Amino acid sequence: MSNTDPAPEPPASGRGTTAGLLGRLLRQRQARVGLVLTGAVVLLALLGPLLLPWATGYTSTGFAGRPYQPDGVLGTDNLGRDVLSRFLAGGLRLLVYAGLATLLGMVLGVVAGMVAAYQGGWLDTLVMRGNDVLLALPQLVVALLAITVLGPQGWVLVTVIGITHAPRIARVTRAAASAVITEDYVRAAEMYAVPRWRILTQDVLPNITGPLMVELGLRTTYSIGAVASLSFLGLGLQPPTADWGLMINENRIALVLQPWGVLLPVLAIAVLTVGTNLITDSLARASARGGAEGAP
């Protein structure tokens, strides 16, 4: 071999698949619509608290008049607080808690799934059977029990929802990783005594980003619904905290008299859910196309 010959390249391990996945995602019109819808609600939730009180003239806990009256911008709620101010301040905590719960579930599930697939044997059996036990427990019932015992606190919401997500994520991760650990580049890394944690993070994880991105979208949608549902039931965020789920519960008795207290948070949660579902569906299609393109 002459000095001018290029050095042999290492076996392709699928790095860069995330960039390819995002490129295929953005080429889909449905994904772009989902990103616009989701981005609009997220932007509203982030900027809403910063607009108070100068945008509406009231804070989220300040009184604007008598309950369920046309005082303020869009009327008052059950305690006479400005509905629009409550709405602008109520989305940030929902998104933060849902995002943290999803992140916790993804970390636990991905680590458990990859380790189970790579190690195999008794550890694989132990992890998967433990997952089966957790999957047999209704998610909402587990959340209600934990919140009843520990109290309706933010860290409890995040922890319980994240833990209930982990078994489902672990099953998807294990299935995807099992198809990757038999590839030649993984075997080559093992021959060169590359540490197992590096094999998992540098060779296995980048090649299962497609299924994981889809699962991330699904878990985000479920986390939003879970946090909002628990707040609606009075087991999530507590008064006087401004929260979209709590707003629905507080104002549902006067839906005909003062609909904005219910319609605004319902519409925001619905748009956010539709947007994330569109993104998730598009991610699934993009992942499937990537697999078809990479097939021999």
If you count them, how many residues does the chain have? 296
Q: Is residue 17 part of a domain?
A: no
State whether 260 and 172 are in the same domain.
no
Same domain for 252 and 153, yes or no, is: no
Identify the pLDDT of residue 191: 83
Q: For residue 5, is it within any domain?
A: no
Q: Round to whole Å and give the CA distance between 101 and 142.
A: 15
The answer on 81 and 177 residing in a single domain is no
pLDDT in tens, 134-164: 888 888 888 888 888 888 888 899 999 999 9
Average pLDDT for 275-290: 83
pLDDT of residue 160: 92
Same domain, 95 and 235: yes
Domain identity same for 282 and 212: no
Q: How confident is the model at residue 10 (pLDDT cuts 50, 70, 90)?
A: very low
Q: How many structural domains compose the chain? A: 2
* Whether residue 236 is found in the same domain as residue 263: no
Identity (one letter) of the amino acid at 72? Answer: G
- Which SS3 state, helix, strand or coil, does residue 36 take? helix
CATH label of the domain that carries residue 184:
1.10.3720.10
Instruction: State CA 52 to chain mean position distance.
Output: 27
Last residue of a domain, one of 241, 263, 283: 241
Same domain, 95 and 215: yes
**Do residues 96 and 83 share a domain?**
no
Question: What is the identity of the amino acid at 109?
Answer: G
Q: What percent of the chain clears pLDDT 70, i.e. is strictly above it?
A: 91
Which domain-ending residue is among 241, 258, 275?
Answer: 241
For residue 114, CA distances in Å to 14, 17, 194, 197, 245 come to: 16, 18, 16, 10, 35
Residues 6+ apart with CB under 8 A from 296: none
| pLDDT mean across residues, the chain | 85
47 and 113 housed in the same domain: no
Instruction: For residues 243 and 264, give the distance between their C-alpha atoms in angstroms, rounded to a whole number.
Output: 11
Q: Which residue, of 221, 241, 261, is where some domain finishes?
A: 241
| Residue range(s) defining the domain that contains residue 216 | 91-241
Assess whether 188 and 66 both reside in one domain. no
Per-residue confidence (pLDDT) for residue 278, from 0 to 100? 92
pLDDT digits (tens, 9 = 90+) for 215-227: 998 899 999 989 9
Same domain, 85 and 197: no
> Which pLDDT score is estimated for 290?
62
Residue 35: per-residue pLDDT: 94
**Entry pTM:** 0.83
Residue 16 lies inside a defined structural domain of this protein: no
Q: Is 6 a residue whose pLDDT tops 50? A: no
Could you tell me the two tokens for 184?
């030649």
Residues 67 and 105 in one domain: no
